[in-house]
Amino acid sequence: QLQLVESGGGLVQPGGSLRLSCVASGRTLDYVGISWFRQAPGKAREGISAISSNSDGKTYYVPSVKGRFTVSRDNAKSTVYLQMNNLKPEDTAVYYCAGILGGLATLYDEYEYDAWGQGTQVTVSN
């Protein structure tokens, strides 16, 4: 059974960078699409990025993070990364990764994912 654990969150100043990791256990990441979501205080959880399970490595970003965030995967390490650059206060949220077998570079409805991580807090502030 697929299990996911995020790490790498923390406090960073505006304009700074963080790299989040999503480590899989229970099975390899082969054939697993990974999406990143975030939930800011008082707001609904929103999907922000996805990487395909296919070897084509296709990715997807919502406009608010495109050009600043980069998602990548290392199947040998069972890890997906979210590199976040030029962070803004509005990026403050709990960040989650979610996995879906056979997933493509798109965001799915939350109930469709096979596994979720527990979340990692990202705070962007002076």
Per-residue tens of pLDDT for the chain, all 126 residues: 999 999 999 999 999 999 999 999 998 888 999 999 999 999 999 999 999 998 888 999 999 999 999 999 999 999 999 999 999 999 999 999 999 999 999 999 999 999 999 999 999 999
Cβ neighbour number for residue 75 with a 10 Å cutoff? 15
